[in-house]
Amino acid sequence: MAKLYFYYSSMNAGKSTTLLQADFNYRERGMQTMLWTAALDDREEEGWIHSRIGLKKKAHLFEKETDMLVAISMQHEDTTLDCVLIDEAQFLTKDQVFQVALVADQLRIPVLAYGLRTDFQAALFPGSAQLLAIADELVELKAVCECGSKSTMNMRVDEEGNPVLAGQQTAIGGNELYVALCRKHFMEKLNG
């Protein structure tokens, strides 16, 4: 049975690095992979998965309208796939999570999805909510808060480093816009 995996964490926990490492591992054994990332993440070159330690790899882009099952099936007919790897999986829609579940169940290709659990207001992203609900395996990746505890939350900050309390769920950025914190420090900073 092929499984749907959800590797989740705060920002800066090494999700993209781990994804690229898993991809390398498949490929060094002569296996074929298909990489995906969110079209709306325009931090680096469009269509590439970048990790903060400098690894990068070209990827397919998913948009809200992308039918993941159709796109992956077409690729699989062309080149038999051994694994599908998805970065920024928090930005998948609910329907797309069901589509990648069908990739595992019907096409029998393992799907490894990597994403944030929660947003800057401690709410689940739609993709993460659905992955937490239906993935076969949930794996937490760990980053460290300034206090040394595990960071599970993401605080959005302004130019002065003050917490941002309200805004759109999606705001693409990196260390200039977000700080990964443990829950205790997230709550303390948010409550002033």
Ligand X SMILES: Nc1ncnc2c1ncn2[C@@H]1O[C@H](COP(=O)(O)OP(=O)(O)O)[C@@H](O)[C@H]1O
Ligand Y SMILES: Cc1cn([C@H]2C[C@H](O)[C@@H](COP(=O)(O)O)O2)c(=O)[nH]c1=O
Annotated binding site: 9-16, 87-90, 145, 147, 182, 185
- Which of the residues 37 through 96 are near ligand Y (CB under 6 A)? 41, 43, 88
- Which of the residues 144 through 183 are near Zn ion (CB under 5 A)? 145, 147, 149, 182
Total residues interacting with ligand X, rule: CB under 6 A: 12
CB of residue 72 vs ligand Y: minimum separation in angstroms? 21
Q: How far are the Cα atoms of 26, 32, 151 from residue 75, in angstroms, in the given order?
A: 17, 11, 37
Q: How far apart are CA 169 and CA 80, in angstroms?
A: 37
Q: Which of 4, 8, 15, 97 binds ligand X (CB under 6 A)?
A: 15
CB of residue 158 vs Zn ion: minimum separation in angstroms? 20
Q: Does 33 bind ligand Y (CB under 6 A)?
A: no
Q: Which residue ranges are tagged as binding site for ATP?
A: 9-16, 87-90
CB of residue 192 vs ligand X: minimum separation in angstroms? 27
182 binds, options ligand X, Zn ion, ligand Y, none, Cβ within 5 to 8 A by partner type: Zn ion
Q: Which stretch binds ligand X (CB under 6 A): 12-20, 24-32, 72-80, 101-109?
A: 12-20
> Please, which residue, 12 or 121, has the CB nearer to ligand X?
12
